[in-house]
Amino acid sequence: MRKPIIAGNWKMNNTKAEAEELLTALKPLVKDVKGVDIVVCVPFTDIEKVKKLVKGSKIRVGAQNVSWADKGAFTGEISAAMLIEAGAEYVVIGHSERRQYFGETDETVNKKVCKALAEGLKPIICVGEKLSEKQMGITEEIVCLQTKAALHGVSRTQLDEVVIAYEPIWAIGTGMTATPEDANQTIRAIRNAIRDAYGDVAQNIRILYGGSMNDKNARDLMAQSDIDGGLIGGASLVAEKFEKIVN
Ligand code: PGA
């Protein structure tokens, strides 16, 4: 059995004071929940504060990006060691917003995944098709290619730490969700691609859905056989919505 993960992706939201307000509301609401990993992926400057705030709760902390380099002349970058020192356990890698606005490619995503794993961070690797790719009927080819590229050079043992998030780009922040059946079929294709490369351990890999997942549609999505959780943007910024998804 794969343990579900509900991960909030705060994106560039929440100052430290706002983070405190959100987590103070969220913590009591999720304190009795069992059988699910809860993660909040927060801006770099919030990590240390959030780590302190979630102490004693089941909430884990993640970042939203990591450098593929160890250290040195990489202005504006943050290393895996720095994230771990600040208190991050997970890191989102290759979100479509990073690919779209900050020039990330399958190649840099792969380098970041390898670095994160080597340093002991758990990557949440994002893959997903554009609307035009969906319309062309090449969704599965696109996401399987992204997955294989992201995992290039990742060992079978390291694979245990990997989480994949399938996020159709047209569904992110738009209120348009993939149907549970479509999302499940695409996620199954991703799992099959991992099986081709690694064998039956693919059965243990957690693959999340993301893209306008909320407190209303989470139940139907989570009821699907291959959907192991969610990467939640907008709805993770409201304690009562995020709590409903988790619970
Ligand atoms: P959304 O974002 O839930 O606001 O669509 C999801 C994401 O980008 O991870």
pLDDT in tens, 28-75: 999 999 999 999 999 999 999 999 999 999 999 999 999 999 999 999
Active site includes 95? yes
Ligand 1 geometric centre to CA of 241 (Å): 13
Active site includes 152? no
Residues paired with residue 207 on neighbouring β-strands, in sequence order: 164
227 pLDDT tier (thresholds 50, 70, 90): very high
Q: What's the chain's average pLDDT?
A: 98
Burial of 200 from C-beta contacts in 10 A (0-12 / 13-18 / 19+):
exposed
**Residue 126 burial (CB count, 10 A):** 28
Q: State which ligand 1 atom lies nearest to the alpha carbon of 211.
A: 5
Q: How many CA atoms lie within 13 A of 80 on its CB side?
A: 21
**For residues 197 and 28, what is the distance between their CA atoms, to the nearest angstrom?**
42
Protein residue closest via CA to atom 1 of ligand 1? 233
Say yes or no to pLDDT of 1 above 90: no
Which amino acids bring their CB within 6 angstroms of ligand 1? Answer: 9, 167, 172-173, 210-213, 231-235
What are the structure tokens assigned to 207, written together? 């693959």
Ligand 1 geometric centre to CA of 72 (Å): 32
**For residues 9 and 26, what is the distance between their CA atoms, to the nearest angstrom?**
15
pTM, full prediction: 0.98
Given the structure tokens 């893959």, which residue do they identify? 127
pLDDT at 134: 97
